[in-house]
A and B are shown apart, each in its own frame.
Chain A
Amino acid sequence: MTDTPPLALDDVSLTLPSAAGPVEILRGLSLTLAHGERMALVGPSGSGKSSLIAVAAGLERPTAGTVRLFGQDLGRLDEDGRARLRRGRVGLVFQAFHLLPNMTAEENVAAPMEIARRPDAMAEARAWLDRVGLGARLRHYPHQLSGGEQQRVALARALAPSPALIFADEPTGNLDSKNARHVADLLFELVEHTGAALLMVTHDPALAHRAQRVVTLRDGRPEAAAEAA
Chain B
Amino acid sequence: MSIYVGEKTRVLVQGITGRAGTFYTDHAMRYGTTYVAGVRPGKGGDSHLGLPIFDDVQTAVQETGANASLVIVPAPNVADALIEAIEAKLEVVVCVTERVPQHDMARVKRALKDSKTVLIGPNSQGILTPDHCKIGVMPTQHAKPGAVGIVSRSASLTSEVLAQCSANGLGQSTTIGIGGDALHGIGFVDCLKRFKQDADTKAVVLIGEIGGDEEEQAAEYLSQQEYGKPVVALVVGRHAPRGRRMGHAGTLPGVGSPGAVEKINRLSSAGVLIADHPGEIPQRLLEVMNT
A binds B: no
